Amino acid sequence: MELLQTGHLLRNKSVAIVGGGPGGLTLARLLQLKGIQVKVYERDVSKEVRVQGAIVDLHFDSGLRVIAAAGLMDAFKASYMPGADKFRLVDKDGNMLLDEHAKEGNPDFGDPHFRPEIDRGALRNILLDALMPGTVVWNSQLTAMEQVGDAWQLSFNNGTAAVADVVIGADGYRSKVRPYVTNIKALYSGATIIQGEIEEPEKECPEMYTLLQQGNLIAMGAGKSIAAQPRGDGGLTFYASSLYPENWVSTSGIDFNNSEEVYAWLESYYQGWSPVFLSLFKACTRFVPRPLNYFPLDQYWNAQPNITLIGDAAHLMPPSGEGVNTAMLDAWDVCECLTDGKYTDIPAAIAAYEQQMRARAVVLGKEALDSIKDFAAPSEESVQAMIQQLGAG
């Protein structure tokens, strides 16, 4: 890796990034390109320990822009999933309402409307492979932090500790770093998704596999929806969404560790839907309920001298296709603020970054909150509006 030694604010400083997701790994790559000493502390035991989830689309002016700035566009092009960005919208009976697979012409790299999909694990591997050996310290779940002089001492559940001049929390909305920055808590959006994984959909739910056509699919009925995506390993991820009371997961009486019990409940809740969608539930052996929370759009805190947040740790919002893209853009912005020479010291650079980050998050968060009801509990009007919007695009 070619290192650019400059006289920026982080010269001779050490940076600890807590969390080895796309945001944290992107930031580590960008900092290393500037010659900065950085470590990423990740709770996973190794990069192979778990499936990273479904696919994610990167956007022209955020994720793809940062991938290019990190010098990883060739690696991305070699790993993305052509055609997986195609979208189908169907009703509860499986009738096709919108089919991008039938459109003529395919956007490509360089087109602002092109949003190529990549498996989360493949994206993670691209970023990991670009880092210096030993950058990621695995099996390191943060348990506590303590200020020691002008630095931070980090303690981990494996009994080890580390010291860093600057700490950046990239560890999601359950962030262990966030409480050292702000005590603002998350709020419930009103929607909950029940996520499921199917390892061999071609065999276990063949009709659904065919309907998906290795792209994105959303089935919408009155008050509920089902979304499905392929995984890069040939598996499938689905999300059954609706509006539920707060704490519904704990008060519903459903044992979500019992797949047969969850299936029976979903079969009843989606009564009247096409059997092709019920086959998704039948094929799934592990369900995970996920209440969709968000941090208040007007959240504000006074910038700390040498600690900040990126991604969901900073500005959790309901799923809108912007999460990974925004985390990567946060990584770019905080790196630039700390290294572009515009600011006199690290506290000023962090304050400038957080102002940019929060201003962007307010806009994207509002869009996500405004659309969550239409996604999780659609009406006939909202479905027609989506058809018009996506059809026009």
- For residue 100, the 8-state DSSP code is G
Consult the annotation and say whether 11 binds a ligand. Answer: no
3-class DSSP assignment, residue 364: helix
312 is in an annotated binding site: yes
Instruction: Report whether 57 belongs to an annotated binding site.
Output: yes
Residue 81, classed as helix, strand or coil, is: coil
CA atoms in the 13 A half-sphere facing the CB of 227: 19
- The answer to the question of whether 120 is labelled as a binding residue is yes
* Cβ–Cβ under 8 Å, residues 97 and 91: yes
For residues 321, 324, 326, 329, the Cα torsion angle rounded to the nearest 10 degrees is -140
C-alpha closest to that of 391 among 91, 102, 94: 102
* 287-294 sheet: strands from edge to edge: 96-99, 87-91, 216-221, 224-230, 236-243, 187-198, 287-294
**Residue 161 Cα distances to 16, 139, 304, 346, angstroms:** 12, 12, 22, 24
Interatomic CA distance for residues 180 and 314, integer angstroms: 12
Give the pairing type, strands 216-221 and 87-91: parallel
CA distance 356 to 62: 14
Q: How many residues are present in the chain?
A: 393
List the beta strands (DSSP E) in the chain.
14-18, 37-41, 55-57, 87-91, 96-99, 117-119, 136-137, 142-148, 151-156, 161-164, 166-169, 187-198, 216-221, 224-230, 236-243, 287-294, 307-309
C-alpha dist (Å) from residue 57 to 222, 243, 321, 371, 384: 27, 25, 7, 18, 24
Q: Where are the beta strands (DSSP E) in 29-95?
A: 37-41, 55-57, 87-91
| Feature table: binding site for NADPH | 50
| Feature table: binding site for FAD | 57, 120, 312
| Feature table: binding site | 50, 57, 120, 312
